[in-house]
Each structure stands twice: as structure tokens, then as C-alpha cells.
Structure 1
Amino acid sequence: MLLSFRFANHRSFRDEQQLNLTPAYRDDEDARAVRVVGVFGANASGKSNCLHALSFMRRFVIFSDREVEPGLGVPREPYRMTPDSLDASSHYVVDIELGGVRHTYGFTLDNDGVLNEWLYHYPLRRKRRVFERTGDSYAWGEESSQRVMLERIAEVTAPTALFLSTVSRFDNRPAGPDEASPEPLRDTYRWFQKMSSRHQPHSVNRIPLNGSGWPESGASRSTLIELLRAADVGIVDVVEVTTTVTEEAAFSFAPSKPNRDGKVGMPRNARNRGSARGKRLKFAHQGPVGEVLFELAEESTGTQQLLGLAIEAATVLDGGGTMCVDEIDASLHPLLTAKLIGLFQSSVSNPRHSQLIFTSHDAALLGTIDTEEILHRDEIWFAEKDSEGASTLYPLTDFKPRKEGENRQRRYLNGNYGAVPDLSAYLFEQAIAARGQADDEATE
């Protein structure tokens, strides 16, 4: 699980920021980190850039040994509002818990390559070095097994690639549970692999048309169906059907024109399309005389986006991991978002302590449903941009709660927490007046 994320000099964030997931108001001592974090703020405040920084770190860990070529530099995105930030280094650090043991992994890079990289773990709550890297120099921990192999891998690690990425390329063993045989390097890499990120715009092309993306376990399938039913989009079930030539032709192609003999042949491309049998997902809707199956393309765009999000959520809840969703309110109604949040918050539906980190404009998520808080105080963060275009990240816990009760939704919209747009009614009226004057002059 993610305990904290620190980063600096990334997009609109110039100075170091920390997203701390340590609980502030919990009685459960076993809860090392909150399961849900929501980041709120105005447009262009930097809340999406916070998730982008974590997504960038994940992608660099997984692909830096394959996608970044030596001599071509590193495709990072530093703060651009001051000249010195363009050449200054950027750094990314995560504190994560794997198999009950805290691990700290991070790296620093500039435009040319990786400057530093390190991994520590804390068995028995004592700091132990796994490795430290400064440029091309490496230092190993006393417990590092297979040290000779690691030294050889370090020799072939490119200046623009992470050592963690390079090590994973030579590790072809099948994945197993984190608790089975703790290995800091391997387990840290697998944590990044299990993370998922969804950014706007949500592409419906990411949703599998066949059964390959349908969750395999019964628990995750039940979670998915529950989310779809709660969304009230008319879907009562999702089924896998075996496609046939006739079915593909009937639903995917228009009839062909008669040939020279006056006979109507198979639809264009139907022979090729139908030659391969496989499974497809179809969506059951309850009609007056029974259930009717619909293709994905027949569902609304909003339903398609919801389905993609629901599949990811069900998979993460079942297998563990961290799920990041940018602008979650663009796909979900507030009541459905609250339902999804509740699934992650509950130890019953989320026994593996999976985590959901999202951004939103929807102030309703700061309120209550049936007198129950949607988000706890330590699950709420804000992003705000200053006059120099630099973003800052801060938690709601920086503000003392009111003794007589706290209407967070109203206080947020009133600007008590900051992170709201500075709207100018005067400038808006001036713009409308100027537009009207221009239209009048154009008609004369």
C-alpha cells in the first residue's frame, strides 16, 4: 500500500510536495494508510498534475530501460515558469508497505539522465539499504543476495534508465504473493506494475470488446455487476457469449448487394471476420418480456466510460493495488462516486487494502449522504496555484474543524479552504459587453 508520495519540479509543481496517506483520525492501529484520497481544486490548479507525477514515476520505473535511449535525454516535464527550473533536477519518492514492511524507493533525474536512485526497507523498523546509486556508482546493502549478478546488471544499466527497471528485465520468474518470499527489488517493481491510472479524456477504446478484460474471479465480477446496477444505467448483468459467423454478420455488417448471378452473398468481410471463433462481452437489459443483450457499441458513451472504470475498480479491489482516477466526476454521478468510494473504504469489500486516489471538482463529495460522511477529514486534499503559477498540495487536516459542526461542502465553495477559482464578475461582464459591441458593428 502507498504510505506517501513526494515529488518536486514536475509540471506546475516547482517545490517539493507530499501526498501523505497516514491516517490522522483513526482508532485502528493496523490502518497504516487511508484507503481513499480525493484531491480537489479549481481548473488548472495542479490536482491533475499531482496524479500525473505519480503516473510518470510508474511509467519510468516500468519502461525506462526500453523507451529511453542514451544520448537523447529524459522526457520529463519540469516547472517551466522560471528559467532555472528547466535545468534543475526532478525527484520522485514513494513510501510503500509490502508484506508488512515499509520500503522507500526514489530517484532524481535531470534532462540528461538519472542522477540518483535508491531503495531502502525497514525490517524490524530499522533502516536497511538495498542499493544506492549516484550516477554510475553503486553501493549495496549487507543483505543484498546475488550481489555478483546485481553488479553485472548495474554495469549494463544505461545512464537514462533506472536500475530497478533493468533488474526486472532479467527476472523472468512467475509472480507470487508479496508475503511468500520478500524480495525488496522484485516486490517494489511489482507494486508499480499493479498500479492503474486513468486520465482524461477517458477513451472508450480501452474497454475490451472481447472477454479478455472481464475479471476472472467471482468476487471482482460481483463487484463490477454491483457498480453497474448501482449506476442505474439499465444493465442488470454482463455475459460472455461465443461469437459465430452468423451472429457477427447479423450484428456487425450490412447485407451485400446481389452478385452477377442474382444471389446475395455473405456480407463484406464476414467470412474473414467470422472465421475466428471467440468470446465477446454483451450487456443484459431488463425488458418487458425478459432480458435483452446489447453490444458495447449500442451503449451510451457515458455507460462505456463507466464500464471501463468499473472493470478497473473491480480488478484492483480483487487483486490489490493503487488506482488513480483523474476527474472522477466526469464519468460518475456523485451518488455512484460515493458508492465506489465506499467499496474502497470498507474492509469487507476491500480486504486487500487497495487504494483509490482521485481528483474532482464535485464539492458534493465533501458533504454527506444519509448523515454519513462520504470522505473522512484525512482523505481530503486540495491543490492551489499561486501568482507565479506554482502549485501547492495541502490537506484538510491543516484546518481545525468547527465545534458546532462542519459543512465542508459550503465552506469549500465559500473559499474557506482555498483551492477555488478567483472569478471576476466585472471582467466577465466586460467580455460579454465587448462581444455584443463587436456583433453590432459587424451587422452595420
Structure 2
Amino acid sequence: MVAANIVAKERELDDNNVFAVDDDLRLLKSAAIYGANASGKSNLAKALSFMKWFMINSSKDTQSTEKIGVEPFELSTETEVQPSFFEIVFLLDAKKYRYGFEANQKRIISEWLSYVPNTNKTALFERVSEGNSRKLKYLSKKFKAEGIYPKTRSNALFLSVAAQFNVEIAERILDWLTKKVNIVSGLDDQVHLIHTVSYLAKNNDNRSEIIQLIKQLDLGIKQIRIKQAEIIPMEQSSYHFKTESSIKTGHQRFDKKGNSVSIKFFDLENQESEGTKKIISIAGLLVDTLKYGKILIFDELDARLHPLISKAIVELFHSRKTNSNNAQLIFMTDDTNLLSNKIFRRDQIWFTEKNKYGATDLYSLVEYKIQNDASFESDYIKGRYGAIPFIGDLSQLLGEPNA
């Protein structure tokens, strides 16, 4: 998320929402993505999630006969036979890396990795597929992966295979991707709860910080009790679990004079609201991301959350005090209360919209010329920026049936 060369109406946003990597590069601490239902917001998160999984696992968790899990865009005769393209640019060990690949369901068409160790871009490897043949077009000595490419299947990534054979650069990239980049859905509370439970079960700084966060979000919770989690896989996929932990939330009890007399504990699963369960579920994820300067990509962030809670979460990332390690948040949302020039710079707001051919366009608010006193929310609802649903005439939907 590279910051644009703009100045926000609220000048403190330029100081709080942006951080400098060096003299030439500034990055954003957050980005919000808006769009109508079925406009492609969630597909963006799904594509990034697949890319992450495939980079880490294609060499070890797939077989030679398995299809690659890409889906061609089938609403165009031109693209339905073309490969899917994936590329990311990221910083690792103070160096900028560019990695990407093209793939169809049968094989990897091309794959590349380069970095900028000083000032000049340096290619580390380039892989191509020509007809039925495949070859390593270029391999830098700095990548130290001689003799490994012949061991790479046509449906696996060379980067993933190289990491399996202890190539240091490949190992560092996949370690960064595994530990520093989280891609989650706001609808998967049970998955997030496992992480929160694991922190709460330990008596460390993360535990106290999670409890403090929960208390500050006005849930009326004064104490939390938890038994050690028992995690039971529900499916073969590592993303589906059931937790048998007992989590109790403590609330104050009062006498008839309004004096606090004791703490009453409720069962989280059966006695708390869906919003409370959501906040407790993601509390560990938020603390972990902020504390260790990670990247969090969050689809449906606002699901089951009050707008003020969503705003508070965003402000945790913008605050220098709570985000001293420059963690980054990218989230998909429909909460227009956050569309404010007091919360975001224009380059932090993005939209997805399907064109007339059914393809998704992703574009930024920074592309629009906007007056300083413009209301982002009002103009968005009015359709000035696009990315809203066009609703047909519903007046006759439940009218009298035709004779």
C-alpha cells in the first residue's frame, strides 16, 4: 500500500496514517475497500489467500495429477482460456521483492522473482513454459538453487520447491508470508477464537493486552475465565476446527441500591451476543498484528460489529501509540460510517465495481478530484464514485397478480 503524493484535509492523517520506509518510499497503515454485493471485494481476499497457500504448500501438499485451484474468468471468450496472473511486491529485510506466477489448472506457465538489494533491480530467477516444454530461463547465483529446478513439478512453484530444499532466500520469503501475513474473514469467528483462546490460556503480555482491549470496547466485561483449549479438527482442511474450551465472561452484579456486590459469569457461546463473541474472537488477532507489525487482510471486517467498534479498530492501526511497529490493515467493508476525511486519506479508500462485461475493476478515491470539504460518505451513497448497487423498481414486487 504505497502512499500517494497528496495532502489530506486533516493534516494529522499525513503523520499518523502513513509511515516512511526510506527517503523515497512511504506506506499506508490501512486501506478500506468498498463495493456493491457481488462486485468482487471478497474475490480479492480469496485470490490473495490462494496465492499465499499455493506459494507455501504447492511443493508438499499437492500431487502431480492434481489440478491447480485457479478459476479462469469465464464471461469472456478471450480470457476463459488464458492463465491466471498473480504478483506481489513486498519488503523483506529492508529489500523490495517482486514475485509472481501465471498458472492455468494444469500447470505453471511462468514464474519470476527479483529484488532490489541496493538501487538496481536484480533478477533471481525466471521460469517459462513454451508449448509442452518448461525451462528455467534464468537463475542467479545469489539464489543458490542449482540443480533444484528439475525436481519441480509442472503444477508446483519453483519458489516452494526451493524452500523445501533449504534455499535461504526462498525460506525467508515463505517464513515471512506464513508468520507476517494473515488473510481472514469476519464470518469465521470460530477460527479466530482459537488464536484468542491460545493467548488467554497463557499468562503473558498478550493475555493482559487482549483483556484490556476487550474491556475498553464497552462490552460490560470485567473478567474472563478460560479453561485450556482442546482443539478438535473437524475436516481435513486445517482451517476448520471446533474448540471445546470453556470461556466465561464476568459482569458486575448490583444490589437494589446500585452498589456492585459480585461478579456474575456467563458462558460466551450461549449467553453473549453475536457482537460480543465476534469482538472476543478477533481480539487476539488484532493484538498479535499490532504488537508484531504484521499485515492483516480482513474480509467483512464490520460483520456483526457496531460502526463505532469498527472505527475504533481502524484507529488502533492509525495510532502511533498502539501501532508503533507499523502493522498494516487492508479490509473489505460496507460500513459507510468510516468513509470520512477525518479518518482516511483519499489514497486509503478503494472501490470494486463490475464493468459491463462482468469483470471487476479496482480503483482508488485518489483518482477523483475532490474538494477539501467533500463528504466521502454522502458522495459515495449518491453514486459519484460508482461501486454501488443499481436497484431496480421494487414497487410492483408484491403487487396484485395479473388476472
TM range (shorter): 0.7 to 0.9
The residue aligned with 1:259 is none
Q: Deviations over 1:242-273 (max 9, x none)?
A: 69xxxxxxxxxxxxxxxxxxxxxxxxxxxxxx
Cα distance in structure 2, aligned partners of 1:352 and 1:154? 37
The residue aligned with 1:414 is 382
The residue aligned with 2:235 is none
Residue number among 135, 159, 163 corresponding to 1:137 in the alignment = 135
CA contact under 8 A between 1:320 and 1:352: conserved in structure 2? yes
Counting only pairs closer than 5 Å after superposition, residues 326-365 of structure 1 correspond to structure 2 as 326-365=299-338
CA contact under 8 A between 1:74 and 1:113: conserved in structure 2? yes
Distance change >3 Å, CA 242–CA 112, structure 1 → 2: closer
Cα distance in structure 1, aligned partners of 2:299 and 2:385? 21
CA contact under 8 A between 1:239 and 1:283: conserved in structure 2? yes
Q: Deviations over 1:194-214 (max 9, x none)?
A: 321222532435522994254
Shift in Å, 1:75: 1.5
The residue aligned with 1:22 is 3
Counting only pairs closer than 5 Å after superposition, residues 227-266 of structure 1 correspond to structure 2 as 227-241=213-227
Q: State the one-letter code of the partner of 1:346.
A: S
Cα distance in structure 2, aligned partners of 1:71 and 1:242? 41
The residue aligned with 1:119 is 113
Counting only pairs closer than 5 Å after superposition, residues 149-298 of structure 1 correspond to structure 2 as 150-171=145-166, 184-194=169-179, 195-199=181-185, 201-204=187-190, 206-208=192-194, 211-214=197-200, 218-241=204-227, 281-288=247-254, 289-298=261-270
CA contact under 8 A between 2:196 and 2:283: conserved in structure 1? no
Q: Deviations over 1:334-387 (max 9, x none)?
A: 11111111111223212222111111111111026xxxx122221100111112
Distance change >3 Å, CA 189–CA 205, structure 1 → 2: closer
Distance change >3 Å, CA 295–CA 151, structure 1 → 2: farther
Distance change >3 Å, CA 87–CA 189, structure 1 → 2: same
Q: Deviations over 1:284-329 (max 9, x none)?
A: 3233323333333233333222222222111111223211111212
The residue aligned with 1:432 is 398
Q: State the one-letter code of the partner of 2:346.
A: R
CA contact under 8 A between 1:215 and 1:314: conserved in structure 2? no
Asked which structure has the greater CA Rg, the reply is 1
Q: Deviations over 1:99-130 (max 9, x none)?
A: 22111111111121111111111111211222
Unaligned runs of 5+ in 1: 4-20, 173-182, 244-277
Aligned residue for 1:402, secondary structure, equals: coil
Shift in Å, 1:240: 4.2
Distance change >3 Å, CA 331–CA 392, structure 1 → 2: same
Distance change >3 Å, CA 364–CA 206, structure 1 → 2: closer
CA contact under 8 A between 2:57 and 2:160: conserved in structure 1? yes
Aligned residue for 2:27, secondary structure, equals: coil
Q: State the one-letter code of the partner of 2:171.
A: R
Distance change >3 Å, CA 313–CA 206, structure 1 → 2: closer
The residue aligned with 1:381 is 350
Cα distance in structure 2, aligned partners of 1:230 and 1:422? 39
The residue aligned with 1:48 is 42
Cα distance in structure 2, aligned partners of 1:188 and 1:217? 31
The residue aligned with 2:257 is none
Cα distance in structure 1, aligned partners of 2:203 and 2:293? 13
Aligned residue for 1:151, secondary structure, equals: coil
Cα distance in structure 1, aligned partners of 2:376 and 2:195? 41
The residue aligned with 1:304 is 277
* % identical aligned pairs: 29
CA contact under 8 A between 2:199 and 2:207: conserved in structure 1? no
Distance change >3 Å, CA 56–CA 63, structure 1 → 2: same
Shift in Å, 1:63: 1.8
CA contact under 8 A between 2:195 and 2:285: conserved in structure 1? no
Q: State the one-letter code of the partner of 1:32.
A: R
Distance change >3 Å, CA 291–CA 395, structure 1 → 2: same
Q: Which 10-residue stretch deviates more, 291-300 or 359-368?
A: 291-300
Cα distance in structure 2, aligned partners of 1:210 and 1:401? 41
Aligned residue for 2:289, secondary structure, equals: helix
CA contact under 8 A between 2:33 and 2:41: conserved in structure 1? yes
TM-score (norm 2): 0.82
Q: State the one-letter code of the partner of 1:291.
A: I
CA contact under 8 A between 2:252 and 2:263: conserved in structure 1? yes
Number of equivalent positions: 363
Counting only pairs closer than 5 Å after superposition, residues 57-68 of structure 1 correspond to structure 2 as 57-68=51-62
Q: State the one-letter code of the partner of 1:207.
A: L
Q: State the one-letter code of the partner of 1:348.
A: K
Structure with greater helix percent: 1
Distance change >3 Å, CA 291–CA 171, structure 1 → 2: farther
Residue number among 423, 426, 441 corresponding to 2:391 in the alignment = 423
Cα distance in structure 2, aligned partners of 1:290 and 1:242? 25
The residue aligned with 1:6 is none
Residue number among 259, 273, 294 corresponding to 1:321 in the alignment = 294
Cα distance in structure 2, aligned partners of 1:378 and 1:161? 36
Distance change >3 Å, CA 85–CA 67, structure 1 → 2: farther
Cα distance in structure 1, aligned partners of 2:93 and 2:333? 31
TM-score (norm 1): 0.74
Cα distance in structure 1, aligned partners of 2:362 and 2:228? 49
Q: Deviations over 1:124-175 (max 9, x none)?
A: 121122222224422222423xx3xx23332222111112222333449xxx
The residue aligned with 2:237 is none
